[in-house]
């Protein structure tokens, strides 16, 4: 091309390039639809650690980096897609504990089934006679806030239930904790057990324990905290002891920090008249007795987490949900029909992480929010009945409110 012609066309080409980039670049996601964003206000060092942890959370493991020999998934992110609720494709199976006396199948691979294996090993199978239950992964976003609710506040919510007129009787799941878990300075202990709050039955104490267990039980990755591979009695070779953990303490700690540093889900359309009406109905029919809208954190060295009010819609207690949700399996001191109140934040975006459909309740059996409400029995039966008695406009308002979370 002649220099003069190029000079003539250059401004137009540049303008076209700018226009094309503007049109072709994907729009930035709206902040209130993002689940994996960091908290605002962390220090530079904390943001750096958060990003390191994000990389650990999404790393896909293979045999050379520690996967297996038996496992469920190959990364944390594969179960917590978009840091929201998990899909049926990565459902977990736990087995071996029919009551509060403890797991009777630890010597046969309990409590978690690893249904996949690397070459040369056998996937695990549920031993004969073991009761079992299936769990989808709970939401990851906002868990740093849940970790910092004080034991005193959880106990106070339980004590307030003693005289609840609707028969709500939620209580903490008191459970033993492993030696590597350090209780919080204000922790309350009863008979050597501590108030746990993570997992479908609130059987795990804090995010450190949750992360270490997930690396080991979900991916088969050993750490200095759990140095043995998951036990699989079918192979006759496990537990495989590892003298050299497959990931470092620094990697574990970065992953824990990532979870702590995730922002809480942001409610959308808070001022919409139908959403406001639905929220009032939610409270009036008693849903908020368990799905507590506002909790508060205690002190945290992560300043944006410290002494904050937040809105998870849970009380972190376990409640009897009735015969329909009795899976004859339990953890800690939760009974077979007792489940931790699921935080409702992020509910309206759950479908984005579940392939466009909804799979709610602990095992994904509810295919819509209304299905999930109607499955509430036991302590929640009064509220579920009140929901069924609502007019259709009031039901619509309540559902719109829940979808705004």
- 390 forms bridges with which residues in the sheet? none
Q: What is the pLDDT of residue 353?
A: 86
Burial degree of 251 (CB within 10 A; 0-12, 13-18, 19+):
buried
CA distance 178 to 184: 14
What digits encode the pLDDT tens for the residues 235-263? 665 566 666 899 999 999 999 999 999 99
Crossing angle of the two packed helices 44-58 and 249-260, in degrees rounded to 10: 110
What digits encode the pLDDT tens for the residues 53-91? 999 999 999 999 999 899 999 999 999 988 999 999 889
Task: Yes or no: say if 211 and 225 are a contact pair by the CB < 8 Å rule.
Answer: no
DSSP strand pairing (295-296 vs 318-320): unpaired
Smallest Cα–Cα separation from 107: which of 91, 130, 134?
Answer: 130
Q: What is the pLDDT of residue 3?
A: 46
Of the chain, the end-to-end C-alpha distance in Å amounts to: 58
* Parts of the chain with a pLDDT under 70: 1-26, 235-243
Q: Does pTM top 0.75 for this prediction?
A: yes
- The DSSP call for residue 300 is -
Task: Give Cα 227 to chain centroid, integer Å.
Answer: 24
Task: Yes or no: say if 103 and 52 are a contact pair by the CB < 8 Å rule.
Answer: no
Q: Which residue has the tokens 């339980």?
A: 158
Q: What is the pLDDT of residue 4?
A: 47
CA distance 208 to 55: 17
């Amino acid at each position: 091309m002649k220099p003069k012609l190029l000079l003539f066309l250059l401004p137009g080409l540049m303008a076209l390039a700018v226009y094309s980039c503007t049109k072709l670049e994907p729009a930035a996601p709206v902040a209130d639809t993002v689940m994996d964003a960091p908290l605002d206000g962390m220090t530079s060092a904390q943001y750096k650690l958060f990003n390191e942890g994000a990389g650990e959370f999404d790393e896909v493991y293979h045999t050379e980096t520690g996967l297996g020999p038996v496992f469920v998934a190959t990364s944390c992110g594969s179960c917590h897609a978009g840091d929201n609720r998990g899909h049926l494709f990565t459902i977990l199976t736990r087995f071996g504990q029919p009551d509060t006396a403890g797991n009777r199948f630890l010597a046969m691979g309990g409590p978690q089934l690893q249904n996949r294996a690397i070459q040369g090993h056998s996937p695990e199978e549920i031993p004969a006679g073991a009761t079992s239950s299936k769990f989808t992964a709970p939401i990851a976003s906002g868990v740093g806030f849940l970790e910092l609710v004080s034991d005193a506040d959880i106990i106070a919510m339980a004590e307030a239930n003693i005289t609840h007129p609707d028969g709500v009787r939620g209580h903490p799941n008191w459970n033993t904790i492993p030696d590597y878990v350090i209780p919080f300075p204000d922790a309350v202990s009863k008979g050597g057990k501590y108030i746990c709050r993570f997992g479908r039955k609130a059987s795990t104490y804090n995010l450190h324990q949750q992360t270490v267990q997930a690396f080991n039980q979900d991916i088969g990755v050993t750490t200095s905290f759990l140095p043995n591979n998951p036990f699989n009695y079918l192979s006759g070779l496990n537990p495989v002891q590892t003298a050299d953990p497959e990931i470092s303490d620094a990697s574990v700690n970065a992953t824990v920090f990532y979870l702590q540093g995730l922002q809480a889900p942001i409610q959308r359309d808070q001022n919409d008249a139908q959403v406001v009406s639905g929220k009032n109905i939610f409270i009036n029919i008693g849903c908020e007795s368990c799905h507590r809208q506002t909790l508060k954190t205690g002190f945290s060295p992560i300043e944006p987490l410290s002494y904050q009010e937040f809105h998870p819609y849970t009380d972190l207690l376990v409640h009897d949900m009735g015969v329909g949700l009795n899976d004859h399996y339990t953890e800690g001191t939760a009974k077979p029909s007792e489940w931790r109140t699921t935080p409702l934040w992020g509910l309206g975006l759950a479908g984005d992480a579940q392939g466009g459909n909804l799979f709610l309740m602990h095992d994904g059996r509810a295919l819509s929010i209304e299905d999930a409400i109607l499955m509430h029995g036991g302590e929640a039966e009064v509220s579920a009945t009140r929901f069924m008695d609502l007019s259709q406009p009031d039901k619509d308002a309540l559902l719109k409110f829940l979808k705004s979370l």
